[in-house]
């Protein structure tokens, strides 16, 4: 009996250790930094970052103000040249016809000709906001006046668009009402003209904020945030023109934003909260086929359930490195650089992040 009690105690302690010893994979992290310091800005709160590569380096943007939904929330931007982030500057506000509204969810995108597009939302809330964009021909130093996206379309809701083989831009989009959430897609040409909507059967799943992945066989996949505790997905076999009904994956979702990118070697990178409740853990997963995902990097793992690491954005720069930005406790924007050539990974089984 004494031996049995000792054995049970050992098993209990071992499980307790493993529960607090998740696989981290941080050997692939080569830079982890904050884009700005608190004393460099006037806004106390920030959220929803975005990042893109320019001819000179990188630029990142986010919304900042007193707090989300306040009328003083504007879009701020910082440039990274020679590995140094510039002091953030305000590049868009919510002043419309003499009234001031909060700004939301900027999305940066670099067109084929090097022109940078800044998409963003303005409005009192996500149920009634509208989409606008500005362009820059000098790597984000100056910006055109804002243009309203036509035909009541919204542009990319949170995550970056992609360029299709035919040259058109495909936007991951969604709409939130008080009763339901729905994802769909939009497209335009490279001149940001000829916008149109592409519908998707949401299959009665409440989903928003899709992100787009592409495959060498021509398939296109979207993954999206949901209310059903799983990341949902849909597939297209004709270059994004028609889509399969939305279905749940085995990957968990805590009703918070995700982002993903297709690497030049064909691997898929997903940044998400690997939990169904809270936002105190943030991770990177990798896949070859978009169906089977492996744990790659645990970016944040705070034992305080009130901590928040959320709304990631991810790109691959021309030198092959992965750049991730995300909200850090609603106070700062963090930038992490990953070398995909040295990623170590472990399988994610039934949506559970693996142990060390």
Alpha carbons 321 and 85: distance in angstroms, whole number: 17
Whether 267 contacts 341, CB under 8 Å: no
| pLDDT above 80 (res 10) | no
Read off the tokens for 213. Answer: 């992945």
Rg, C-alpha atoms of the chain = 20
| pLDDT above 60 (res 15) | no
Share of the chain above pLDDT 90, in %: 93
| pLDDT above 90 (res 13) | no
Q: Which of 28-32, 94-98, 122-126, 329-333 has the lowest mean pLDDT?
A: 94-98
- Residue 180: predicted pLDDT: 94
| pLDDT above 90 (res 211) | yes
Q: How confident is the model at residue 178 (pLDDT cuts 50, 70, 90)?
A: confident
User: What is the pLDDT of the chain when averaged over all its residues?
Assistant: 94
| pLDDT above 70 (res 3) | no
What average pLDDT does this structure show over 167-196? 96
| pLDDT above 80 (res 293) | yes
Alpha carbons 195 and 239: distance in angstroms, whole number: 17
Distances (CA, A) of 356 to 297, 303, 347: 12, 17, 11
Q: Domain 25-347 has what CATH class?
A: mainly beta
Over residues 106-151, the pLDDT tens digits come to 999 999 999 999 999 999 999 999 999 999 999 999 999 999 999 9
Higher pLDDT, 20 or 347: 347
Residue 144: count of CB within 10 angstroms of its CB: 13
Enter the DSSP assignment of 353.
P
Q: How confident is the model at residue 4 (pLDDT cuts 50, 70, 90)?
A: very low
Complete edge-to-edge strand list for the sheet that includes strand 332-338: 29-34, 332-338, 322-328, 309-316
What average pLDDT does this structure show over 70-91? 97
Alpha carbons 281 and 305: distance in angstroms, whole number: 9
Q: How confident is the model at residue 286 (pLDDT cuts 50, 70, 90)?
A: very high
What residues does each domain of the chain span? 25-347
Q: How confident is the model at residue 262 (pLDDT cuts 50, 70, 90)?
A: very high
Over residues 334-350, the pLDDT tens digits come to 999 999 999 999 999 99
């Amino acid at each position: 009996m004494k031996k049995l009690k000792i054995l049970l105690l050992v098993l209990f302690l071992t499980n307790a250790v493993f529960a607090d010893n998740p696989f981290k994979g941080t050997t692939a992290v080569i830079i982890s930094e904050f884009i700005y310091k608190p004393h460099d800005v006037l806004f106390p709160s920030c959220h929803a970052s975005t990042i893109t590569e320019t001819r000179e380096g990188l630029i990142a943007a986010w919304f900042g103000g007193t707090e989300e939904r306040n009328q003083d929330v504007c879009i701020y931007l910082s440039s990274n040249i020679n590995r140094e982030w510039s002091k953030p500057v305000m590049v868009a506000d919510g002043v419309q016809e003499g009234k001031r509204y909060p700004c939301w969810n900027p999305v940066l995108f670099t067109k084929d000709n090097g022109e940078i597009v800044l998409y963003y939302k303005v409005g009192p809330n996500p149920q009634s906001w509208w989409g606008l964009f500005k362009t820059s021909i000098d790597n984000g130093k100056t910006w055109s006046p804002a243009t309203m996206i036509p035909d009541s379309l919204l542009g990319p809701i949170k995550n970056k668009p992609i360029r299709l083989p035919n040259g058109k831009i495909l936007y991951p989009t969604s709409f939130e009402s008080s009763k339901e959430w729905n994802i769909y897609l939009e497209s335009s040409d490279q001149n940001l003209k000829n916008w149109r909507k592409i519908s998707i059967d949401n299959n009665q799943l409440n989903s928003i904020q899709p992100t787009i992945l592409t495959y060498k066989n021509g398939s296109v996949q979207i993954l999206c945030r949901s209310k059903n505790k799983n990341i949902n997905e849909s597939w297209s076999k004709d270059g994004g023109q028609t889509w399969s009904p939305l279905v749940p994956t085995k990957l968990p979702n805590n009703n918070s934003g995700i982002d993903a990118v297709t690497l030049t070697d064909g691997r898929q990178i997903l940044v998400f909260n690997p939990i169904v409740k809270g936002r105190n853990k943030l991770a990177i997963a990798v896949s070859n086929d978009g169906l089977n995902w492996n744990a790659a990097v645990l970016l944040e793992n705070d034992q305080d359930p009130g901590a928040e690491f959320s709304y990631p954005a991810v790109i691959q720069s021309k030198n092959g490195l992965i750049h991730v930005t995300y909200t850090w406790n609603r106070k700062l924007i963090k930038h992490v650089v990953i070398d995909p050539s040295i990623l170590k990974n472990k399988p994610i089984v039934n949506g559970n992040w693996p142990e060390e």
